[in-house]
Amino acid sequence: MFQHILVAIDGSKISDNALKTAIEEARVWKAQIHAIYVVETGLFSSLSDGQYLGDHVQHAREGGKTALNSAKEMADQHGVKIETYVKQGHAGNEILKANQ
């Protein structure tokens, strides 16, 4: 029996499919979905200008919010509870931390 289902969202077709599967399972188990989008800040580590780095991170965060809003709409359409999170750092570490 599942009470919580964690799904990572990145706006790709693969993550859309993972979300669809999570929604199906959440409906069966009456579980809540926790959707996480991680801004992989390591991708920007080679940028030298701090302001430029901040712009890239902010743009990535906005993309994450858009992807999570779409996930929320899809879950709402299926009557599934969902909590969304935008995190920043190493994707694998942040996803594992979200599971704790």
Residue 68 · residue 9 · CB < 8 Å: yes
Which pLDDT tens digit goes with each residue over 37-83?
Answer: 999 877 655 555 555 567 777 888 999 999 999 999 999 999 999 99
Domain that holds residue 69: 4-98
* pTM (predicted TM-score): 0.87
Please state, in angstroms and rounded to a whole number, the distance separating the CA atoms of residues 76 and 93: 28
Overall domain count for the chain: 1
DSSP state of 3: S
What is the CATH classification number for the domain harbouring 25?
3.40.50.620
